[in-house]
Amino acid sequence: MNAFFEHSTRTRTSFEMAANRLGARIINWDMSSSSMAKGESFEDTLHTLNATHPDALILRHADYNAPHYATMIMDCPVINAGDSWRAHPTQALLDALTIRQHKGDLAGLRIAILGDIAHSRVAASDIELFTRLGAEIHIIAPPALMPDWDETKNLKLFTEIEAGLEECDIVMTLRLQKERMAKGLTGSDTDYHVQYGLSMERLSLARADALVMHPSPMNRGVEIDNEIADDPRRSLIRKQMANGVPVRMAVLEMCLSGSINTRD
């Protein structure tokens, strides 16, 4: 059962396609037509979904740690399809797969993640997975969107895009996630584009064969220029989308076959 309490195009559709390809049937619970509009709580909604006995619940929610909370109510595995700004594990898996397909092992690669790091669950999960796989991460963000992190051997922080892009094999850029921001945290979209937008000129500061990623949805002309987003020689963005289906098939298969401990 897909239960998305936040908007989604790629994640929801690719979980749906993945389930269908595995021969499962999927129910898309729809928040906008649900009884939450009549005041029903998240907890009571979960009890209702659990009472219909799904084999797995695929959950996206804006509240911190909501998938973990759901595991305490549901009798089936709960798959995290996006937890607030905290985690988006299946996106990290498909991002790592995409990098491996085009650059080989992640160990030794230098990967820049550029933009609204503070509000990005994609950045959080990517950093966790990519560093475990031995990559070096360059975080590039305006001071207001830079988390309060310490640098480590494999995690370096930059507020200047030029220094951060140096010798990078991959440049991943992110949307300004305004729905999670306090008002006034950033200037206008135009100012952001001037200071942190990824253009061909800026990309040339990375390695000559550097490839570009974005989890989407993209705001073209803000964090990324059309010229890069649509260049199949430089952009892996559509490959990331395509990898959503096989990666989520694998996650569903592992959870439903009991081959991993789904309580973790």
Judged by CB under 6 A, the chain residues 127 through 186 that form the site for ligand NCD are 175, 177
Residue 204 CB, nearest distance to ligand NCD (Å)?
25
Question: Binder to ligand NCD among 61, 103, 110, 121 (CB under 6 A)?
Answer: 121
Ranges of H-type helices in the chain: 10-21, 42-51, 66-71, 89-103, 121-132, 161-165, 189-196, 200-203, 226-229, 237-256
User: Which of 79, 83, 65 has its CA nearest to residue 2?
Assistant: 79
Rounded CA separation 67/42 (Å)? 11
Instruction: Select 88 or 138, whichever has its Cβ closest to ligand NCD.
Output: 88
- How many amino acids of this chain bind ligand NCD (CB under 6 A)? 12
Nearest Cα to Cα of residue 130 among 98, 149, 102, 107? 107
Which stretch, 102-110, 136-144, 149-157, 215-223, contacts ligand NCD (CB under 6 A)? Answer: 215-223
Polymer length of the chain: 264
**DSSP three-state, residue 160:** coil
Residues 58-77 within binding reach of ligand NCD (CB under 6 A): none
Shortest distance (Å) from residue 122 CB to ligand NCD: 5
Among 2, 4, 5, 11, binds ligand NCD (CB under 6 A): 11
Of the candidate residues 10, 180, 234, 239, the single one contacting ligand NCD (CB under 6 A): 10
82 near ligand NCD, judged by CB under 6 A: yes
Rounded CA-CA distance 155/182 in Å is: 26
- Of 91 and 98, nearer to ligand NCD (C-beta) is 91
Dihedral angle, C-alpha 34, 40, 42, 44, nearest 10 °: -110
Closest approach, Cβ 215 to ligand NCD, in A, equals: 4
Contact 129, 98 (CB under 8 A): no
Told to check if 216 binds ligand NCD by CB under 6 A, we report: yes
Which CB atom, from 50 or from 216, has the smaller least distance to ligand NCD? 216
CB of 217 to ligand NCD, least distance (A): 6
For residue 127, is it left (φ>0), alpha (ψ between -120 and 50) or beta? alpha
| Residues found near ligand NCD in the complex (CB under 6 A) | 10-11, 82, 88, 91, 121-122, 175, 177, 215-217
